[in-house]
A and B are shown apart, each in its own frame.
Chain A
Amino acid sequence: QSALTQSRSVSGSPGQSVTISCTGTSSDIGTYDFVSWYQHHPGRAPKLIIYDVSRRPSGVPYRFSGSKSGNTASLTISGLQVEDEADYYCCSHTGSYTWMFGGGTKVTVL
């Protein structure tokens, strides 16, 4: 069980869009539409921002969107805001009620 692959960091200026990719295999992202994304500010509990590949929980801003193509899932933050600076993790169901997280991506707002 190795982690899903995420880029280590991405940055953008306020108002710009950034996209984080999450690459898995045909055994996880490629098979299941149970991909979720989490925002994690250090010292706080992680927060679910996308589930079922592209669905937003109530209260999550529209600027967060998710998609999937093949074995790769993506999170796009449109109209980047200062408060979006955080670590972001993807997660996929991997069958038999097991899950796997990505290594995390640090988003920096310039």
Chain B
Amino acid sequence: EVQLVESGGGLLQPGGSLRLSCAASGFDFSNAWMHWVRQVPGKGLVWVSYINSDGSYTAYADSVKGRFTISRDNGKNTVFLQMNSLRAEDTALYYCARDVSYAMAAWGQGTTVIVS
């Protein structure tokens, strides 16, 4: 069974930093593309970042470019999202997702980040 478990969320002040983790199991993680997607309470889903299977290519939404960094440790089946210079508008539930054919085929339950 595919499982994605996010962790690392919390409450912090504007300008702070946080690192989210997503532990994966049940599939060949080292060959999987991964994403982070966020949802502000009461609002829609927003794509945040992508990383390819070996971590050599990453991409970001304009709203987080230069502040967030996605990375992965294939030995630990974990993908990370380092978030710096956090703003109130980064407050959201952050999901990690596994990509299959350019779609987010499996999702975790999310971890909540509150910047206030």
Contacts and interface: CB of A to CB of B under 8 A. Distances in A.
Are A and B co-members of a single complex?
yes
Interface of A: 1, 3, 32, 34, 36, 38, 40, 45-48, 51-52, 55, 57, 87, 89, 91, 93, 96-104
Interface string B79-112: 0000000000000000100001111111111100
A47 B62 CA distance: 25
B11 interface: no
B74 interface: no
Q: Which 7 A-B pairs have the closest CB atoms?
A: A51-B103, A34-B102, A36-B103, A45-B107, A104-B44, A97-B59, A99-B47
A46 B62 contact: no
B47 A101 contact: yes
B52 interface: yes
B105 A57 contact: yes
A93 B102 contact: yes
A100 B47 contact: yes
Nearest to A93: B102
B57 interface: yes
Contacts of B46: 3, 101
Given A45-B95, A98-B47, A51 B109 contact: no
Given A34-B102, A97-B59, A91 B47 contact: yes
